[in-house]
């Protein structure tokens, strides 16, 4: 959402008031260390995409209730969710149908969804409100900065990265999310024993994921190479599209070992 940051992707929205819980989650946190080279190549581009009236209204009315603004300081996860529970970060939830299904199937876990796309955030807000998804919160901001600045080391039970933009052209590969520096950062935020679950329908990106995740010293593959799709992951919207185009699907599930 980022009602208060100039770099908010996806166009302007009216600032919504922050809930008390959001204020509590942000206020006591210590300053996150500034990373020196703060600029990085974004894994997304700002596009003025279509947004429905319902999604726009959800953004206007529900952002302050269910989302947390990006801030350059550590987030107190227990305060943000109103309870201490294992917290799973999802990067790029799209329209949120998968997030909703997983959150409903796993009520004991908290789900922090990070997305930059206005229509998707509006749709997810609507899902949270209409289905009483008390265990979901949203941050509308670049996930790289959220992970770097807001997530404390060793604090996540898991991370879901489902069908990240494949950036198929070679000159765009630098925009891919799953690359060694970001994977090292992500791994540092996962608690020992926690997991990183990626999925893609792009074979050559799957091979890159396997290489990068296997090379990260904090992570170990749970299987040899690619994992079968676990029961908790429903078929996502992008996956359905990929399957329709005749693509395969590759899941990778790694655990943090120390």
Ligand X SMILES: C[S@@+](CC[C@H](N)C(=O)[O-])C[C@H]1O[C@@H](n2cnc3c(N)ncnc32)[C@H](O)[C@@H]1O
Binding site as annotated, residues for substrate: 169, 201, 236-239
Residues in contact with ligand X, shown as a per-residue x/- string from 25 to 54 under the rule CB under 6 A: ------------------xx----------
Using the minimum distance from each CB to ligand X, give the nearer residue, 160 or 255: 160
Spatial separation of the C-alpha atoms in residues 219 and 225, rounded to whole Å: 13
Instruction: Choose the catalytic residue: 20, 76, 149, 165.
Output: 165
Task: Please indicate whether residue 251 is annotated as part of the active site.
Answer: no
Query: What string marks each residue from 209 to 238 as x (binds ligand X by CB under 6 A) or -?
Result: ---------------------------xxx
Tallying the residues shown for the chain, one arrives at 258
Give yes or no for residue 196 binding ligand X (CB under 6 A). no
Render the burial of 61-81: b for 16+ CB within 10 Å, e for the rest: ebbbbbbbbbbeebbbbebbb
Helical segments of 12-112, H only: 20-26, 53-66, 77-81, 97-105
Q: DSSP string of 95-152? A: TSHHHHHHHHH-TTSEEEEE---HHHHHHHHHHHHHHT-TTEEEE-S-HHHHHHHHSP
The answer to whether residue 113 forms part of the interface with ligand X (CB under 6 A) is no
The number of residues that bind ligand X (CB under 6 A) is 23
Confirm or reject binding of residue 76 to ligand X (CB under 6 A).
no
Under 8 Å between Cβ of 213 and 186: no
Rank residues 76 and 201 by Cβ distance to ligand X and give the closer one.
201
Query: Distance between CA atoms of 160 and 234, rounded to whole angstroms?
Result: 12
In this complex, which beta carbon is closest to ligand X, that of residue 27 or of residue 38?
A: 38
- The residue within the footprint of ligand X, chosen from 2, 51, 94, 135 (CB under 6 A), is 94
> What is the binding site for ligand X (CB under 6 A)?
43-44, 91-94, 114-117, 120, 142-144, 162-165, 177, 236-239
């Amino acid at each position: 959402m980022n009602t208060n940051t100039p770099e908010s992707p996806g166009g302007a929205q009216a600032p919504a008031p922050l809930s008390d819980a959001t204020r509590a989650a942000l206020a006591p946190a210590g300053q996150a260390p500034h990373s020196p080279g703060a600029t990085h190549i974004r894994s997304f581009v700002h596009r003025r995409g279509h947004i429905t009236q319902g999604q726009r209204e959800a953004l206007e009315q529900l952002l302050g209730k269910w989302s947390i603004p990006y801030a350059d300081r550590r987030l107190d996860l227990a305060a943000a969710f109103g309870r201490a529970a294992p917290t799973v970060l999802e990067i790029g939830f799209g329209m949120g149908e998968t997030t909703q299904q997983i959150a409903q199937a796993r009520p004991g876990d908290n789900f922090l969804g990070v997305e930059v796309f206005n229509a998707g955030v509006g749709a997810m807000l609507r899902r949270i409100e209409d289905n009483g998804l008390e265990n979901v919160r949203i941050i509308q901001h670049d996930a790289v900065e959220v992970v770097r600045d807001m997530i404390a080391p060793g604090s996540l039970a898991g991370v879901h990265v489902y069908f990240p933009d494949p950036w198929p052209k070679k000159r765009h590969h630098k925009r891919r999310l799953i690359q060694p520096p970001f994977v090292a950062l992500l791994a540092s935020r996962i608690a020992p024993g926690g997991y990183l679950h990626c999925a893609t329908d792009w074979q050559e990106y799957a091979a890159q994921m396997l290489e990068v995740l296997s090379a990260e010293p904090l992570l170990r593959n749970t299987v040899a190479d690619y994992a079968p799709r676990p029961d908790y992951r429903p078929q996502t919207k992008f996956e359905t599209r990929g399957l329709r185009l005749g693509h395969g699907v590759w899941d990778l599930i790694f655990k943090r070992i120390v």
